[in-house]
Amino acid sequence: MPKLLTGAEIVFKCLEDQDVEYIFGYPGGAVLPIYDELKNHETVKHILVRHEQGAGHAAEGYARSTGKPGVVLVTSGPGATNVVTALTDAYMDSVPLVCISGQVPTHLIGTDAFQECDTTGITRPCTKHNWLVKDIKDLSKIIHEAFYVATTGRPGPVLIDIPKDIQFAKTNYLKPKKEKKPNGTSHNKFSQSEIDELINLISKSKKPIIYSGGGVINSGPNASESLREFVRLTGFPITSTLQGLGAFPGEDNQFIGMLGMHGTYEANNAMHDCDLLINIGARFDDRITGKIDEFSPKSKKVHIDIDPSSINKIIKVNLAIVGDVNEVLRSAIKKINKKQNGFKISNKQNISKWWGQIQKWRTKDSLGFINSEKTIKPQHAVKRLYELTKNQDTFITTEVGQHQMWAAQHYKFNKPNRWMTSGGLGTMGYGLPAAVGVQIAHPDKLVIDIAGEASVLMTMQEMSTAVQYNLPIKIFVLNNQYMGMVRQWQELLHEKNYSESYTEALPDFVKLAEAYGCKGIKAQTPNELDDKIREMVNYNGPVIFDCQVDPNENCFPMIPSGKPHNQMILGPNDKDEKKITGKGKTLV
Amino acid sequence: MGNPKSAYSIPTKKGKLDTHIFVVWVDNEAGVLARVVGLFSGRGYNIESLAVAEVDAAKNISRITIVTTGTPQVIDQIKLQLKKLVPVHKVADFKREDKKVIFKEMALLKVVGKKKGLEKCIKACKSFNPVILDKTKQSVVIQITALRREIDKMSKKLKPLGLTSTSRTGAIAMTRGAEVFK
């Protein structure tokens, strides 16, 4: 008879069998048996964060940059509620997380015991699934199933709530079963006729556009390779959502920039005027579509997605292909190559006029800005950061706001899994802990959090984690003293009533860095910027970089709310724009 | 028109609402009903009625019947979202007008009054399979099975005759003929 194991031992057995290397967590009363067991399992390393939200975001950064699930360990009550933001964030952006939470002993559940909360009730709407383990015999099965649910189909967070008495109870350990499909769900449901129809639409199109999203990243590095091959074969222009950046090289000529609210003029106009729109692993988010009624009115729409509920949710499509992005693309590429002559040549003739139009839109230079010699423009700072770090394999995380959009616009990504940002939930405070997680996964790579001073203060305590584990993360703060995106909206929509968007009494970031035991660097003028960035990059240890930028800069171009893609507001460089600003209020 | 001063889009015209009946087969485990119901409330879908009970004790399967309204797009979403829940095995949805499906609700009606009134009530229920579950000199409890709108009608009709209390189930559904939904 095999040796009986405690619940805590089983937790680690499962983690080992699921090849988990790191867990991000914070101890507390209801998880102490699991923490007690930690010392016996060398292959599973625990990263002690300073707040459970930080553990969640760090696990997200780890997962996004590796493709493996991130694992979180927290205690009951406040431990669990603190991680809710990160779970919701992961749910919105389809990041695989497995969160293990402690719970009060079974006999105390429902009695308002110390540090008790209805964890499964609270996290039910922000996880793919969750479990309260009431019987030790179910524990190993549940943990293995949790990993399966988190990582298959459209990935997402799951939570396992383990009462303290279950952690002490003993039973046999069960190894994970191979090829388990709960309720018989398969994810590739497309047929060859759908692929044929896709090819047919492609060959007929005169104004096509490919719109790719985070699904390509989630499908793995092979999907990015397939996407590149597919785009080259068709010769079509490609745009990407915020989450999809890096799946296709940002510097490639066929890439016409990010689309959506702060996307490029050429990408949004092409979306509006196209006759064929191929959505690959994106979800028609409201930051992308603008006004639904006038979204891409003349196009046939194709939607490739692993999640059937994403299809026809917001935009009705003509052809839906449900499946893993890579599988669908491989299938399409195979078919294209099989066709005699390929349609590479004829297709390029078909769409040459369209490319001409796109080139015209490109000349607007919608990401342009008026640079200054006196103050650092935030766009300039991101551009310099890119130029000075592009020669190495750099991982970028961001917080949420203007700096995030500038990073997306001006930092060019050439590989998948190099860009970690909170898109769906828009969580300020995501970037710093995410950088911790990324650096844990990639100890020798350059990891930079492009941050805003307001966001970064929300999870600043994780600098202490970075110092503890010698994680040389660089926190590049575009400090404009405002909640910049809030200020921008107030300027455009609320008659410049900057209600509570200015931060009084900001800390001295250099001294703050020193207080945490890391390096602080401050840049105030464009002249010193390059040298200071080099100093940051070359420093072997964590850095907080206080980049003091123009506080009044706005993020352009933008699609005002309730407007279609072809009615963008461009930056101050554009001559037509002055007319638009005159009517600005009626427009936005 | 909504307020244009917003970072969000303005709501567009709503389509026509249809009434649909969803039948959902789920694992009978703790919290499963909360998952299904939470999906509806969380995404702003409507529940008109709900009926749930275990139907297969060996396989531990419960059958949930939900009556809801929505535009065709919303109905589609409900179905797809339900299918994503881990304990959900299969989902069927029927239009209320669907002739191939039987819908039934049950109601218990308590009428208090004089003998004549009670007799009248029992008579009125005649076409809805009335069963007298309890009878005293001043009261009667009648069980009827009928469609939702028929029960609505009966409640209205019996009110003046002494109907004092009504208890109703949600609708349950079954396809006609030998076919079984897979």
Q: Residue B75's closest chain A neighbor by CA?
A: A313
Q: Does A293 touch chain B (CB under 8 A)?
A: yes
Q: Does A196 touch chain B (CB under 8 A)?
A: no
Q: Which of B117, B113, B100, B104 is nearest to B150 (CA)?
A: B104
The residues, any chain, with a CB within 8 Å of residue A487's CB and separated by 6 or more, are A498, A501, A502
For tokens 């299969």, what's the residue? B90
Cβ atoms within 10 Å of A178's Cβ, excluding its own: 5
Mean pLDDT of the residues in chain B: 92
Cβ distance A124 to B83 less than 8 Å, yes or no, reads no
For residue A234 the two structure tokens come to 């068709």
Binned at pLDDT 50, 70 and 90, residue B92 comes out as: very high
Q: What is the pLDDT of residues A188-230, one digit of tens each?
A: 889 999 999 999 999 999 999 999 999 999 999 999 999 999 9
- Per DSSP (E only), the strands in A342-425 are 394-398, 419-420
Task: Give the per-residue pLDDT at A575.
Answer: 55
Q: How far apart are CA A236 and CA A343, in angstroms?
A: 12
Q: How far apart are CA A24 and CA A69, in angstroms?
A: 12
Task: Give the per-residue pLDDT at A586.
Answer: 38
Q: How far apart are CA A452 and CA A440, in angstroms?
A: 23
Q: Does A559 touch chain B (CB under 8 A)?
A: no
Measured at the CA of A584, the angle between CA A581 and CA A586, to 5 degrees, comes to 150
Q: Answer yes or no: are the C-beta atoms of B18 and B79 closer than 8 Å.
A: no
Coil/strand/helix, residue B66: strand
Cβ distance A292 to B85 less than 8 Å, yes or no, reads no
Long-range interactions of A572-575: CB distance < 8 A, separation 24+: A572/A369, A572/A370, A573/A365, A573/A368, A573/A369, A573/A370, A574/A364, A574/A366, A574/A368
Q: Does B89 touch chain A (CB under 8 A)?
A: yes
- Per DSSP (E only), the strands in A180-254 are 208-212, 238-240
Q: Which of B45, B80, B85 to mutate to test the interface with A (most CBs of A within 10 A)?
A: B80
Residues 109-138 on A with a CB inside 8 Å of B are 120-121, 124-125, 128-129, 132, 134
> Measuring CA to CA, how many Å separate A340 from each of A107, A328, A374?
71, 21, 60
A45 is catalytic: no
Task: Give the per-residue pLDDT at B8.
Answer: 77
Candidates A124, A313, A316; nearest CB to B77:
A313
Coil/strand/helix, residue B148: helix
Q: How far apart are CA A361 and CA B181, in angstroms?
A: 54
Number of A/B CB contacts below 8 angstroms equals 62
Cβ atoms within 10 Å of A297's Cβ, excluding its own: 12
Q: What is the complex's ipTM, to 2 decimals? A: 0.90
Cβ distance A134 to B30 less than 8 Å, yes or no, reads yes
Task: Give the per-residue pLDDT at A573.
Answer: 73
Q: Kindly report the backbone phi and psi dihedral angles of residue B104, in degrees, each rounded to the nearest multiple of 5, phi listed first.
A: -145, 145
Q: How far apart are CA B82 and CA B20, in angstroms?
A: 14
A373 CB burial (10 A radius; 0-12, 13-18, 19+): exposed
A236 is catalytic: no
A379 is catalytic: no
Q: Which of B29, B86, B91 to mutate to test the interface with A (most CBs of A within 10 A)?
A: B86
Contacts A291 to B, Cβ<8 Å:
9-10
Q: Residue A291's closest chain B neighbor by CA?
A: B9
Candidates A289, A309, A561; nearest CB to B4:
A561
Handedness of CA A567, A572, A574, A577 (dihedral sign): positive
Contacts B5 to A, Cβ<8 Å:
493-494, 588
Task: Give the per-residue pLDDT at A587.
Answer: 37
The residues, any chain, with a CB within 8 Å of residue A422's CB and separated by 6 or more, are A89, A93, A398, A399, A400, A430, A431
- DSSP assignment of A459-523: SGGGHHHHHHTT---EEEEEE-SB-HHHHHHHHHHSTT--TT-B-SS---HHHHHHHHTSEEEEE
Q: Answer yes or no: are the C-beta atoms of B161 and B121 closer than 8 Å.
A: yes
Task: Give the per-residue pLDDT at A340.
Answer: 53
Candidates B6, B38, B80; nearest CB to A561:
B6
Task: Give the per-residue pLDDT at A38.
Answer: 97
Question: Over the range B7-44, which residues count as b (16 or more CB within 10 Å of their CB) and which as e?
Answer: eebeeeeeeeeebbbbbbbbbbeeebeebbeebbeeee
Contacts B10 to A, Cβ<8 Å:
291, 561-562
A468 is catalytic: no
Q: How far apart are CA A136 and CA A588, in angstroms?
A: 57
Q: Does B11 touch chain A (CB under 8 A)?
A: no
Q: How far apart are CA A45 and CA A437, in angstroms?
A: 13
Would you say residue B166 has pLDDT above 90?
yes
Task: Give the per-residue pLDDT at A346.
Answer: 62
Binned at pLDDT 50, 70 and 90, residue B2 comes out as: very low
Task: Give the per-residue pLDDT at A341.
Answer: 57
A164 is catalytic: yes
Cβ distance B89 to A183 less than 8 Å, yes or no, reads yes
Among the residue ranges A30-44, A506-520, B3-17, B71-85, the one predicted with the least confidence is: B3-17
Q: How far apart are CA A480 and CA A221, in angstroms?
A: 36
Q: Does B46 touch chain A (CB under 8 A)?
A: no
Candidates A128, A494, A561; nearest CB to B8:
A561
Contacts B9 to A, Cβ<8 Å:
286, 289-292, 561-562
Q: Does A497 touch chain B (CB under 8 A)?
A: no
DSSP run (H or E) holding A432: helix A431-441
Q: Does A181 touch chain B (CB under 8 A)?
A: no
Average pLDDT of the segment spanning B15-42: 95
For residue A253 the two structure tokens come to 């000529």
Cβ distance B4 to A182 less than 8 Å, yes or no, reads no
Task: Give the per-residue pLDDT at A581.
Answer: 44
Candidates B7, B38, B80; nearest CB to A308:
B80
Q: Kindly report the backbone phi and psi dihedral angles of residue A451, in degrees, each rounded to the nearest multiple of 5, phi listed first.
A: -125, 165
Cβ distance B9 to A121 less than 8 Å, yes or no, reads no
DSSP 8-state assignment for residue B65:
E
Task: Give the per-residue pLDDT at A180.
Answer: 53
Which stretches of chain A score pLDDT less than 70?
A: 1, 179-186, 340-346, 575-588
Angle between helices A402-410 and A484-493 (to 10 degrees): 100
Q: How far apart are CA B91 and CA A534, in angstroms?
A: 58
Contacts B86 to A, Cβ<8 Å:
128-129, 149, 182-183
> Measuring CA to CA, how many Å separate A36 from each of A11, A12, A168, A381?
12, 11, 11, 47
Q: Does B10 touch chain A (CB under 8 A)?
A: yes
Q: Kindly report the backbone phi and psi dihedral angles of residue A157, in degrees, each rounded to the nearest multiple of 5, phi listed first.
A: -85, 150
